[in-house]
Amino acid sequence: MDNLKTYSNPLNERYASKEMQYIFSPHKKFTTWRKLWIALAEAEKELGLNITDEQIDEMKRNIENIDFDYAKEKEKEFRHDVMAHVHTFGKACPKAMPIIHLGATSAFVGDNTDLIVMKEAAELTLKKLINVINNLKTFALKYKNIPTLGFTHFQPAQLTTVGKRACLWIQDLMLDAGDLIFQIDELRFRGVKGTTGTQASFLKLFENDHEKVKKLDQLVSQKLGFDKVLKITGQTYTRKQDSRILKTLAGVAESAHKMATDIRLLQNMKEIEEPFEKKQIGSSAMAYKRNPMRTERICSLSRHIIALSTNPYMTHAVQWFERTLDDSAGRRISIPESFLTADAILDLLYNVTDGLVVYEKMIEKHVMEELPFMATENIIMEAVKKGASRQEMHEVIRENSMKAASKVKNEGLENNLLNMLAADKRIPLDSDEINNLLYPSDFTGRSESQVEDFINNEVEPLINKYKSFIGMDVDIKV
């Protein structure tokens, strides 16, 4: 029961996946520290320092053997987390103890681990983003030719199609995927730089051999999976790398928020609904309700990421000279929470896009309520073909449109504009001729073709490039 008396982060308890939670776990962090110490020792040995295979093998055998209680005692004693774990690792590896962390500073394990973790988290985020795009691709193709009201200013506008609107969502997420791919590729390792980034300690270890120090930096970075390494650092890697990554996650959040809001509005109109489970309760009081709880949660979480994304900008801005430690506490919160929140959002988006419900009859009903107003331009053109004056027809239709709109708004009646126009003798078209101008598919322009072109030329190449990512299990806890 004691765990119920302390704060528990909802991102862990309710929202983020276990996979993303592990990436930011203490176990992942401290085993990565040990892998960095091993890589450093291996590279130093390869370049001629007096380090034995026995020492390295001992370290490798004890990567997982972490005495967290002992580390906590040492951190309380030293007030220094890295030295606490150096001693904890040394306790498990007495032969290797003299060469653990040789020549390094705390940022060697701290910063490089942060970069390793962010890269893995970004790759998991990309995988989930690709799966959401793939779901939406299937949806867009299925409904590519279903006419629906377009909206500008949330007022009925020229028709589009259900699939074309989904492509607006896809396009935003495609831009986010491109940004994320770029950031993953461009993320640069801190490497082996020493206390203030000058590599002075390593230059001393290698007796002023600059080439060996440069090779050491390269070797360690490659052992940890990074081909790109920052050539210049202070004590830490530039915190601008944090803001670049987190602004990309904020981009995912803004796209998700826009899409989720559209679905919430469409659910109010009874045109499209997010999945609703058999025993799900929409309201404790109103038993009939089907609230868009998942898309609402997406919006809520998205705003959290957008707010968090300002933190790294401010942190980088105040890193005086080679570094200050006022970055540490904020980064411990903003970086993990941004990734955990993005993870939760994408799991929700995957769930929603995998089961969107479309009510075609309701969509058609709304289209036909507004189509008479939208068809007036076509009616004018047909009337002109029969010899009528364009300006006169415009005025006649405007008068009738105002009357029809008044009856809809003030009297709650159905839109009878077409009957009014057919009865108006000034218009040289009968009822059949007017009705023949009212096929919804005639008003959607190139929507269907645009969907096909966009999917074939832009979406499919991305999905094919990352086809190994396709397929994921999502467990929505609440």
**Taking every pair of C-alpha atoms in the chain, what is the biggest distance, in angstroms?**
104
CA distance 257 to 176: 13
Retrieve residue 260's tokens: 């989720």
Host H or E run for residue 152: strand 147-152
Our answer to whether residue 85 is catalytic in this structure is no
Q: How many Cβ atoms sit within 10 Å of the Cβ of residue 60? A: 15
* 155-161 and 147-152 beta bridge pairing: antiparallel
- Distance between CA 156 and CA 386 in Å, rounded? 30
Q: Which helix (H) or strand (E) holds 477?
A: none
Residue 89: closest CA among 2, 153, 31: 31
Residue 47 phi, psi (nearest 5) = -95, 10
Q: Does residue 153 have an active-site annotation?
A: yes
Q: Where are the beta strands (DSSP E) in 312-433?
A: 357-358
Report d(CA 135, CA 356) in Å as an integer.
10
Q: What one-character DSSP code corresponds to residue 445?
A: T
Distances, alpha carbon 421 to alpha carbons 367, 379, 393, 427, 434, in Å:
19, 9, 10, 7, 8
Catalytic residue among 283, 300, 328, 406: 283
Positions annotated as catalytic residues are 153, 283
